[in-house]
Amino acid sequence: MKLIKQAVSRLTAMLMLFFMSTVAFAQEKSADIDVTVDKGGGGANWYASPWVWIVGAAIFILLLVALLRGNSSRD
């Protein structure tokens, strides 16, 4: 029974590696890549500002600390 489990495990790993390499080789190669980066104004992407992430992380950490400190009360 152990031998069958090992064989199935090895077969599964081999098939997964085969399919992953097939997907990697199937990527399209294009010689004419056109990348346009628009750094102009526009307030639609407020989440792209670094200060928003810093403030959000600070609030998250403060909430996490408050929740963890509140649960550690002793009699």
SS3 39: coil
CB-based contacts of 41, cutoff 8 Å, min separation 6: none
In this prediction the pTM is: 0.38
C-alpha distances in Å from residue 1, one per residue of 6, 8, 29: 9, 11, 46
CB-based contacts of 52, cutoff 8 Å, min separation 6: 46
User: Tens of pLDDT along the chain (75 residues)?
Assistant: 889 999 999 999 999 999 999 888 877 666 677 788 876 666 567 788 889 999 999 999 999 999 988 766 554
